[in-house]
Chain A
Amino acid sequence: MQFAHMSDIHLGFQKQENLQKIEQMVFENALDECIKRKVDFILIPGDLFHVNIPEMRVQKFAFAKFRQVHEHGIPVYVVYGSHDFSPVSNSVIDLLSATGYITKVTKVKESTEEKITLDFVTDEKTGVKIAGLPGLKVGKDEVYYQKLDRKHLENQPGFKIFLFHGGIDELKTETGPETDFMPLSLLPKGFKYYAGGHMHDFLHQKYQEYTHVVYPGTLFAGYHSDLENNANGKKRGMVFVEFEDTIKNIEFLPIDNAEYEIIEIDAAKKRSEDVNTELLEKIRTLEPGNKIVIIKIEGELSEGKTTDIEFTKIKDELQQKLALDIKINRNQLTSKEYTITQANGKDKYEIETNIFSENIGEIRLEEKALVGNTGVQTAKKLLKETTQPILLNEKKSDYNKRIEQSAIEILGLKVEE
C-alpha cells in the first residue's frame, strides 16, 4: 500500500503569468504522479491554496485536477493551512469538500472549555485512521493542541496518521522561519506517520514516540524566498510512503519546476556606481531565456544611494532576453549616505511616528510642508493612504488612480491639465 503526501502548494500565490503556469504545472504533475503510481490516498496538510478564496482561474484548474483524481478513486485528505483556512468554513477547500473531491479530516467529536476531542476519518480501502488539526495564522492553533484530548486519539488501535499544519520546534532549521513553532510533545503520540505542512523544505525526523514526522515542503513556492532557494539548488517535491502494518519506505520525489539564474552581489563598501556596473556586466553575460532570474544585492554602499542602481533598466534588459521572470531582493541593501535610523514605540503607529521623526532631519528639502513636524505628519498620512488595500471588486487601474489621487491631495499638489 502507498500514500502520497504533499503540502504548501500555495495555488494562486504567483502574480506573474509565466510563474502562474509553472505553479499550475507542478501541481498537476504532482497529482499525475499520484495517479500514475496508483496511490491509495493523498494527504495535503494545509496551504493547498494561497488564500481561502483564490481567483477563478486557480479554482478552475484545481477543480478539474481534483475531479480527475477523484475519478481514479483516490481519496484526498486535507486540513486547512494558515493561508487557506476560513473561520466560517467558507473557502474553496470547503467547496471541494462539498463536491466530495477532497475530505477535511478535522472531525471534532466534542469541544468544551477544557478539551477538544477529535475523531478519526477512516480510509475505506486501507482502513487507515486519519485525524488532524488545521493551522491558523501566527501560531494561534497552539491553543487547539493545548486542549487536545491526546489520550483519546492515542488509545485508538490501528494504523494512524495525524495531519497538522504548523512549525515544530524539534524540526526547526537554521535557514527556515524563526517564529510560530510548537513542541512536538503537543501532538498525540504513537501514530505511524505525522503528515506536516507549513515548513517549505522537505524534512523527515524520527523519534521514539513519533516514529515519522515529515514535511514534504512546498511544491514550487509560497514565499519569495522559496524562489531564491530554488535558484540555489533546493529540490521541491512530494513524499510517497509505502506501508503495511508499519511504514516500509519514505521516498521524497523531486518535481521539476523551472530553470533559474541567480546573481548575488555583495555591495558592502562599494560605490553605487560600481555596483551598478558590476550588475550590468553580470547580466550581460547571462543567458536568461526561459529562466527565472533572481538578483540579490546586500550590504551597505559606501557612496551613492540605493536608488542609483538601475533596477528598471536591468529588468528591461533581462525581459528582452526572454527571462521568465525577474525577482530582485534588495531588502538588505543600504547606503552609508542615507540609512534609516530605527526607532521604538509601543505600537505600530508610535513606531512609524518615531521613525519619521528620527529620520526627517536627514532630508534636505526647502518645502516647509515636508520638513519638521509637518513633514512627519505628511509622511504618516501618505503612508496610511498608500497602504490602503484594494477594495473588493475594485479594478487595479481604479485602485491605482484612487491611491494616486489621495497622495496628491495629501501633498497639496494640483495635477496640470
Chain B
Amino acid sequence: MDGVDIVGQVIGGKFGDIVIREKFGKNLEIGDLLVSEEENSFLILQAFALEYGSQIQDRMQQMMSGVNLEQGVENAQFYEPEFVNYVLTRIKPVARVSKSDNSVTLPKSLPPFFNKLRLIKNEDLTFLKRSTEQIFVGYIRSGTKVIKDAEVWLNAEDVFSHHILIPATTGRGKSNLVKTILWHVLDSNKVGALVLDAHDEYFGRHSPGLKDHPKAKENLVYYTPANPPAGSNRLTINLESIRPEHFEGIIDFSDAQYQAIRGAFRDYHESWISQLMVLPPEVSASSENMAITMSVVKRKLRLILGLDVNVQNQVESKNDVFNAGTKGLTTVDDIVKDIEQGKIVVLDTSRLGNEAEIIVGNIIATKLLEKYKDYKQKGQLERKPVVTVVIEEAPRVIGEDVLIAKNDNIYSTIAKEGRKFKVGLTAITQLSSVIPRTILANMNTKIILGNEMKQERQAIIESASQDLSEDDKNIASLDKGEAIISSIFVPFALPIKIPLFEEMIKKHSTAEKSTKTKVF
C-alpha cells in the first residue's frame, strides 16, 4: 500500500464498531468505504461515525480556546497539531473479498490490530462485474465520492420477483431512480412492467424520459387518456372490464353495499356498472332498504370512477378513462399481453382520482397474476419474463390500516405470494412504517434514499436484509441521488450514487439509424 493512500489505522474497538485514527487531512466521511489488506483477502469496512480525538486533556483544550478567543492571541497553535489532534472514525466490516477468486463473504473477524487502511478503489470492486440480464442502479459511492467505474448491476429476475421497496421523502430522487431502473429494463424483453404513473413523469411527454430510449418503439407502451402523442395509446377502459372483486381491499364498501354490488353483477353481468348508473335505484333493488343501499353504491361508484349520466341517459366519463360504450374493450388484455412480452407499459393515471388509479392497476394486475398462475400450472412460467407492478405511495394499497380495515387486495397478494409466479411489486413510499412487517420482510431489495424522519428510518433499518443498525445517521444524511441498497442479492449494503437521468440519457443517446423508406 502506498503511503499516500493510507487514510487511517486500526487502533481499537470491537467487531462491528472498530475505531481507527484518521490520517491528518484525509477528511473521511460517513459512508466512506475503506479497505484493510490482508494476506489472501481484503476486508471492506464502512465508516458510520466520526468523533474528535486528542492527546491533550479537555481542560487544557478549553483553556487554549480561551487564550485564542478572549486574549486575542491570533496565531496560537498546538505544537505539531496533526499529531496532537485528530479524528477517530468508527467503522464496521461489511465484506471480505477473496483475492484468489473474487468471492465475497460476510466478515467474521477483525482486521489486524494497527493495520493501515486505504480508501476503496475501482479495482477492489470487480466482483460487481455485470453479467447478463441485469439492471443498472448506480455507481458505488464512498461517502460523497463516486467511484465512476464501479457500476452496480442487479439481477433483474431476482430483484423484481422478490419485490423492491424504494423508501424516500420528497425531493430525494425517487422519480430519477425509477426512471434509471426502467431505462435499463427497456434494453431487453426480460422484464415486463406495469407502471402506474400518477404524475405522468416517466414517459417524458414534455421532457426527457423513457420515450428517448433507443428501444422505446419496441419495448415501451404508453397509455394516456387524452390526446396521446404520436405512437402512443389512448387509455380507455371499458366499464365491462370492472368486476365487483376489483373494489375489494381498496374501497370502503359496507357488507350490505358489497352485497348490492354482487347482486347487480349477477343481474346485469358485465354491464352492471352502466346499468346501476342509468337505472333508478328502486329498479335495480329488490327492497326499499336495498334501494337506499343501491343509491349509496351508485353515488360512490360515480365519485370513484368519475362517471356522469348525460341527458340522453348515457354514462359518460369525466376523466375520459372509463367507457360505457364499445371503446376500450380489449385495453386490459392488450396491456397484459404487452407486459407478458417483456415490455414496459406506462399508464398515465394523472387524471384519475386516487382510488380509480388503484382500481385500474388492480384490474390489470389481477389479470396478470391469474395468467402467470396459469402458466405455472401448465409448466410454461420459465419462458415468461418476470414482471413488476410499479406503484407510488404504496401504503394506499399495502398500508397496515388499509389491509386491516379492508382485507387483502391484489397488491398485498402480489407482495405475499407473487414471487412464486414471477410477479413482483416495486413499491415507492414515503412511509415505510405503516407497511406491515410481514410485507416489508417480503420486499427483499430496498433502495433506501434519504429520509429525515426517524420513525421511517427505523422501520427501514429493522426490515433491511443487512444489519443497518449503525446506519441511522448515514441514511439521514443521504443527499439527493445518494442511496443504500440493502438486498438479499448484494453482498453488503451498497452505498450508491444514482446518475442524473437527463445526463445518463445524453450519454446513451445514439441516433437511431433509419433507412430511406419506399412508400408503395
Interface residues of A (CB under 8 A from B): 80, 85-87, 89, 106, 108, 111-114, 116, 133-134, 136, 143-147, 150, 169-170, 172-174, 178, 183-186, 205, 207-209, 344
- Mask, B302-331, CB within 8 Å of A = 1, is 000000000000000000000000111110
Could you give 25 example pairs across A and B, Cβ below 8 Å?
Answer: A89-B520, A106-B520, A108-B519, A111-B518, A113-B514, A113-B515, A113-B516, A134-B519, A134-B520, A145-B231, A146-B231, A169-B234, A170-B233, A170-B327, A170-B328, A172-B330, A174-B330, A183-B228, A183-B231, A183-B234, A184-B228, A185-B231, A185-B234, A205-B327, A209-B227
B67 CB–A CB distance under 8 Å: no
| B519 & A116 in contact (Cβ 8 Å cutoff) | yes
Q: Is the CB of A170 within 8 A of B236?
A: yes
Find chain B residues with CB under 8 A from A172 CB: 329-330, 334
5 residue pairs, one from A and one from B, having the closest CB atoms: A185-B228, A172-B330, A183-B233, A108-B519, A113-B514
Q: By DSSP majority rule, is chain B's interface helix, strand, loop, or mixed? A: loop
- Closest B residue by C-beta to A94: B520
A/B pair count, beta carbons within 8 Å: 75
- CB nearest neighbor in A for B330: A172
Question: In the complex, what distance in Å separates the CA atom of A208 from the CA atom of B225?
Answer: 11
Complex CA gap A152/B138 in Å reads 43
Q: Does B383 contact A (CB under 8 A)?
A: yes
Verify B234–A170 contact, CB threshold 8 A. yes
Q: Flag if A185 contacts B520 (CB, 8 Å).
A: no
How far apart sit A344 and B236, CA to CA, in the bound complex (Å)?
A: 35
Q: Mark B491-520, 1 if CB is under 8 A from A, else 0.
A: 000000000000000000000001111111
> What is the CA–CA distance of A208 and B327 in the complex, to the nearest angstrom?
13
Q: Interface on chain A toward B: helix, strand, loop, or mixed SS?
A: loop
Which residues of B does A touch, CB under 8 Å? 217, 226-234, 236, 326-330, 333-334, 337, 383, 514-520
Residues of the A chain whose Cβ atoms lie less than 8 Å from the Cβ of B227: 208-209
* Assembly CA distance A146 to B228 (angstroms): 14
8 further contact pairs, Cβ within 8 A, besides A87-B520, A170-B233: A106-B519, A143-B517, A170-B234, A172-B329, A185-B230, A208-B227, A209-B227, A344-B383
- Given A113-B514, A174-B330, A344-B383: A183 and B520 interface contact (C-beta under 8 Å): no
For B226, the chain A residues whose CB sits under 8 A away are 208
Query: Which residues from B are CB-within-8-Å of A170?
Result: 233-234, 236, 327-328
A209 CB contacts on chain B under 8 angstroms? 227
Are A186 and B231 neighbours in the complex by a CB distance under 8 Å?
yes
Report the bound CA distance from A205 to B236 in whole Å. 13
Compute how far the CA of A113 lies from the CA of B326 in the bound complex, rounded to whole angstroms.
38
User: Which among B337, B515, B517 has the greatest number of chain A C-beta atoms within 10 A?
Assistant: B517
A198 to chain B, nearest CB (A): 15
- Whether A150 contacts B230 in the complex (CB less than 8 A), given A170-B327, A344-B383, comes out as yes
CB-CB under 8 A from A80, the residues of chain B are 520
Q: CB-CB < 8 A to A178: which residues of B?
A: 337
**Could you tell me the distance in whole angstroms from the C-beta of A163 to the nearest C-beta in chain B?**
13
In the complex, residue of chain B having the shortest beta-carbon distance to the beta carbon of A134: B520
Set of chain B residues within 8 Å of A185, measured between Cβ atoms: 228-234
Cα–Cα distance between A205 and B518 once the two chains are bound (Å): 31
Q: Give the complex CA separation of A152 and B167 in angstroms.
A: 47
Please give me the residue from chain A that is nearest to B228 by CB atom.
A185
B517 touches A111 (CB 8 A): yes
Assembly CA distance A145 to B231 (angstroms): 8
